Structures are given as C-alpha cells and as structure tokens.
Structure 1
C-alpha cells in the first residue's frame, strides 16, 4: 500500500497542465512524467511494447494469447490549470492527510485523471509480477491533451486503425460509483457511460461602424448581441428521454420507492413527465434530458468609452442524442432571427454512438464492478454529459464505455476542475483491484 501511494503521489506532483493555446504549455513536465513512469514501473517497460504518439501521448501493448478483440484501458496525462490561492493544500504537493480509512490525497489530477492512469499502471505492474498472461492483447492508451483538443487520443486511434486493431472493449474515464444522483434511488450505482453528448461552440458576431460611446446608435452591436443571447436563453431545447437515459432509469427502477418505481417502470407513458421533473431538479439532471446551450465568452470594444465595431459571443452547446451540429445551428438561427447576427460553427462533433448495455463486453464490466466494488453496487447504463477522449475510439470499436472505478461523494465530484480536488486512499486502492480483475477477465 505505501509503495503504491508513494508512486501515485510522485506522479501527482508533476504539473502536466494543458492549455487550449498549446503555445502556452510547458512540455518539460510531460517529459518528466514519461521518465518517472518508466522508472517507477520497470516490469511494464520490460514486458510491454511502448511508443510515444503525437509527441507526448503514450501507447502500450501487452501481447496476449490472441490479438483479437483486445482490451483498451484509457486515461490522460494532462490536468486543467489551477488558481493556487483557492486551494486548502498546494495543488501539486500531493499532500496526504489522515490515516487508515480517513487517509486522503489532495492534488490536481487526483481524480481527473491521474487517479485512473496510475491505478491502471499499478494493476498492470502487479499483474505482471504475478505472472498473469492475458488471453487477449491489452492496450494502455494515455492521451496528453484530453482537456483541450484531444489530438493525442485521435492520433492513437489512427495508429491502431492503420494496424487493423479493433478493440472488443474500451474503457475510459466517466461515471463513478455514486449515491443519490438519481432522484429517489439511494442504492450505490455504478454509472457506466454508454455514450456521451456531442459538443460544439457557436460564434455569434455583430458588426457596426463604431465611434464614440457618447453618441451611440439606437441598437449598438453589444445590445443586438445581448438580445440574441437572451433569445437563446429564453428558448431552451426541448426535453426528452434519450435511449441511454431510458435504459438507466429502467435499470434503477426496481430500487426506487413507490410511487416513483411505477413511474420509472412505465416510461412509455411517463417519459414526458419524468423529463419535465428532471429539468427542474438541478443543472445535472436538466442536462440529462435536453441539449444545453450557454454563452461562455463575450468580447466587445477595447475601451470603456468606445463603441464596439465587433461584438462577439461564444455559445457552448452540448448535444443530446437526436440533435446534431447542423440541426442545433439551424435552430439557433431561427431563434435569434436577426440577419445582422452572424452565426458560425467554431467547432463541433455530434453525439457519440451508443454502446450496448447487453452482451459479453457489458457483462464483463458489470461483473467486475460487483466483484471488486461491492455486491450491493448496481451497474447501470449512463449518458455522459461531458466529452472525453473515448469518443475517438468509437471509430474502431462498438464497445466503448466510460467509467472510473472510484466511489465518489458529491463533494469530491464537485472538486473536479475546481479547487481542492482529492481522493480517499482506500477508494483509489480499490480501483486498482477493479483494473486487475478486468485484465484477468480478458
């Protein structure tokens, strides 16, 4: 235990911070991370094939008895930036507090996503030490820029595609073991993402001649832009129960109290009512039942006494299954209804294909969850609300899932991408056992 935690803390202390503008990234920590992994996990580097892809991503192959239907375990090296003054403990000190069941590691990346990455490394190294020989090939795919462009994972997929590799099971970060997330359901649930929403950004632009702010026109560019944003806000996308959400609710229905149980068991009749209720319960449940859109960036004049010649807004949209980049763009143009507002797609990808929640791959995952994370845990399909590197793997596999094998409280989940990110040591160690069992079932 001590050695594993020490290795984890050492890797957490390396600030592999990514930025949208990659010219701002300090690549030295990424090189240091590569070197530390090689030093800390000697069996992996003696027995597995290793290559660096797209400059900083890592791809390992553990040859099994057969190359057919390999297992791919994913994670990413990079973490999001920090505001150090907001943290109770320094974000890259990997401070260990408490002892026994109260031991906690505080660090950026403790959960997202070095928690999974190092747990995978620990599982593979221990399995090698025990003489495990997988029945099928096992790949470790560690992207270097998941938090920004995801180009590392894309390059890994293209590398595997060129070699004719078609994975039988891909597992990336995603849902976790949680409690109380689904209204009325109190049993612990393992939220296994079978799909994820699409992501796109629309750029709204209004242009005018400009001039001095003391003599503004009747409708300046900023006002026209604000009106467009307000129209989008006042006309949200319609609510509906997408197939992964329907599967999730049907799975947990037997564990809900009456009368909720009956409501969830009759979604063919109650879907609209359930969707309406979810949309009012909070931001997370609202995002489960509709495409969401929110203005996230605004820009105008360079000075406070100057009229903007160009006013711009970025609108981030997360697409529920049934919507596409094209349909969402057309809808935005209809709602804004102003030819003076230019609407362009900055970037976008449609919702991912939906992986099956039946069959051999799903059964392996569900069985491993119950065997290693608790017999009372209910594995359930889940629609992942954010984007991950796994979306690129849907091009070469029909069985792509998103699940991090950690039991997380609401406070721990809220710390992701925020200050005071942390993970309980016993929870992390249990995650290693999950990956070891999944490898053994290959």
Structure 2
C-alpha cells in the first residue's frame, strides 16, 4: 500500500475498514435505532487509537457523541475538527458489494473501499483520528487547544452536536476555527474551470420542511368526488414545482466566481470577472447546468414524503406531502413560507411549517483561519488546487457552532469524482484508498499549523 507523508498506510487502512464495518445507522425514529453498534464503535476507538486516548481528554456527550480535548500552549482561539459517526440506512439489495463489509475493490490508484460511511462521514472522522494518533506519537505539542467534536446523530436530529456546543459554551470556549464536513476537491463543477478546486463552505443553506395537507370526508373509492383530496394535493405540489424560487448570486457564490475567474478559459473568464454586469445572466443560466449549479443560485423545494389513504379502495380523508426546502443565503423560513403559500394559491390546502432554520451566518474567506485551510490544501492535497469559498448545499452539524465562532467552515479533504459524490446517501458509497490517505495529511498539516 502507498505511503503518504510518513503515515503507516496499511495500519491506518485496516483501522478504517474495521470502523466502517460497524453499522452505526441513524433513524429519524429513535425507537428504530440499534444502539449496540454505537457502543461498539465508541469502544473500538479507545482500542484502535491508544496514544490519542492517553493524551487527549475524552467525554461522552448526549449518550454517544464524543468530545476530545488536546491541551495546547494556549486555550485562546482553539481549533475544532468535526465529524459524525452515524450513517444513513442502506438497501443492501441495491449494492454490488455488502454495504458494511468494507471490501477493497481494484488495485493501485484505482483501489477503493466500498462501504456505507466511506465518505459520509467516517472517512473524515477516522482520518482526523489517524492524524492525531500520528502527531501524538511523533511528540507534537499543539500551539493552541484542539477539540474533536464527533456527533452521533447528524443525519437525523443533530442534538448530539447541539449538546457539545452547550458544553463548550458553558466553559467559555470560543473557537478560532471550526471545520466540519462539506465541499470536496472537485473537477469540472464550474463551467470553464479546468483546475481542481477545493470547495470550502463559508455558509450553509437553511433547511425547513413544509407540510401540504388536503382533507375531505372520505368514503369508498368507487364514488369519488370531482376534486378528491389527493388530486388537490397533487395540484398543489405541481404548483410549487412550477413556481420555483427566484435565482440570484449570493455573496459567497459571487466570491466563488471571482476566485475562479483567473483560472477560467474562454469567454467565461470575462463573465466571472464582471459579475456586477453578468450576475443576472449567470443566475438565469446556471439552473440549466445541473442540480448542483441550480442549488447554488436559488432556494430549492421538492416534494419528498407522500401519504394518503390506508387502503387502495378507500378515499383519503387526509392527503399530505412533505416539501423539503433548502434556503439560499439571504432567504428566511418566513419568506419561504410566503412563497409556498403564494404558489399553492388554494385555501383548501393547509400549509404548515413543521420545522425550519434560517441559513447560517457567512464566515470570512480572508484572514488567518482561511489561510490555514488553504495552506493545508496545497501542502497535503496538491499545489495546483485552488481553494475557493462556496455555499454548502446540505445541512451539517457545523451550523450549531456558528453561535461560538465567526470562523466556521465546511470541507471534506478528499478529491472526489462526480460518481463518488452521487453515491452519498445512495448505494455503492465508496472512496479511493489513495484519496483517503491524502486526507489524513490534510488534517495533520492543519493541526500543525494551529
């Protein structure tokens, strides 16, 4: 196996595979969660990383979340590295290899580990621990305090990370830099850009769920009314779909294009460099370039869960749809609710915000914390990689840390293909071995710089 930056790659890889085999699966209904694998995972960390556990303080928070503390020369402006140990459920029949076998497929640079959690998010969690274990073994003494925050239910409630934040807040901890999962090193995401880009989230979109509900008296399906509840609900969903949120270039996206302009070929170089003039055109065109580009320039809404009658020959007395909305920086839960109500335009449809949080504050993409991230990208992942700000498209546990720090960033230090990114929360999740090993070097260099 390839060696990366003096790290014992074979040992690291086997520890990673062992932890991937533990099915720490989250479910929205906690009654469905098997907590035994979570207990097994926590115990395995102590056994697999003895030097880390000999030097760092360790607390179990909210049942299964973990908070580690590595004392440095000063407690001011500490570094917080985040990850989560839970994974989303699997449909084993959809996988070409068992989702918790952590098999290595291929050889050389093509070797990859296939397992649920390989990227999201045990890839980062284990890479962080490998970096710490290596640095402790080498005698490294951090200049600042270092905290490791590992939530146990990021994929569902996120209250493990919330409790960690409350603990740190009660102790007066004010991090100088927080780094959680987020954007990766990618190729070809932005049209015209030919260099690899490290997409570091300086903000993340808000998230909310709206229920659309249609009601009727019910009865036998053999004698339906002219406009049954299911039809009215379908019409409401269609209206939301046909009236998307307006497009615009939010400040972090503007910074993304400005950063990449010097690395863009053809006419787009001028377009990206003159967003004051071209911004409205870009905002209108980008939704046609795929779902990722669409999500960068507008709040998105999509129907997910649907429910209706309890039997095929019964009229639904209540038909309901969940609309998942991701709020672009500048929009709010209140403004999105108004948009949905205007789009539905039907007083017989109940519009109910079940839960929601506004977009996170925007962290600066200049200054010393940002430079530390960019420097670690260049030293560990490649000097040809351009580090750029962007808006994190999904939600993460990092949003809870914005109450503690103005420097909260979201970046997963792996060079991922589009197919690898598409496998997140889907079948055949995987990561190339060499890519994962380089990620360890990123965390090592970031801790050294802190």
**Equivalence for 1:275:** 283
**Equivalence for 1:127:** 135
Contact 2:307 2:319 in 1 (8 A): yes
State the alpha-carbon separation in 1 of the partners of residues 222 and 110 from structure 2. 62
Quote how far apart the aligned CAs of 1:306 are: 1.3
State the alpha-carbon separation in 2 of the partners of residues 19 and 259 from structure 1. 48
State the alpha-carbon separation in 2 of the partners of residues 299 and 55 from structure 1. 33
State the alpha-carbon separation in 2 of the partners of residues 281 and 410 from structure 1. 14
**Equivalence for 2:328:** 320
**Counterpart selection for 1:185 from 189, 193, 198:** 193
State the alpha-carbon separation in 2 of the partners of residues 136 and 103 from structure 1. 37
| Alignment of 1:5 onto 2:43 | no
Quote how far apart the aligned CAs of 1:120 are: 0.3
**Equivalence for 2:231:** 223
Mapping 1:53-202, distance limit 5 Å: 53-202=61-210
Q: CA RMSD in A?
A: 0.8
**Equivalence for 1:365:** 373
State the alpha-carbon separation in 2 of the partners of residues 209 and 98 from structure 1. 59
State the alpha-carbon separation in 1 of the partners of residues 340 and 304 from structure 2. 16
Gapped runs of 5+ residues in structure 2? 1-8
State the alpha-carbon separation in 2 of the partners of residues 151 and 195 from structure 1. 20
Quote how far apart the aligned CAs of 1:96 are: 1.4
2:279 aligned counterpart, secondary structure: helix
Quote how far apart the aligned CAs of 1:384 are: 0.7
State the alpha-carbon separation in 1 of the partners of residues 118 and 229 from structure 2. 44
**Equivalence for 2:6:** none
TM-score, length basis structure 1? 0.99
TM-score, length basis structure 2? 0.97
Gapped runs of 5+ residues in structure 1? none
Quote how far apart the aligned CAs of 1:220 are: 1.2
State the alpha-carbon separation in 1 of the partners of residues 247 and 145 from structure 2. 42
**Equivalence for 1:309:** 317
| Alignment of 1:405 onto 2:413 | yes
State the alpha-carbon separation in 2 of the partners of residues 100 and 233 from structure 1. 45
Structure 1, residues 261-297: CA drift from partner, whole Å, max 9, x if none?
Answer: 0011110011010111101111111111100111111
1:191 aligned counterpart, secondary structure: strand
**Equivalence for 1:344:** 352
**Equivalence for 2:435:** 427
State the alpha-carbon separation in 2 of the partners of residues 259 and 72 from structure 1. 41
State the alpha-carbon separation in 1 of the partners of residues 117 and 343 from structure 2. 40
Q: How many residues align?
A: 442
State the alpha-carbon separation in 1 of the partners of residues 419 and 301 from structure 2. 25
State the alpha-carbon separation in 2 of the partners of residues 110 and 225 from structure 1. 39
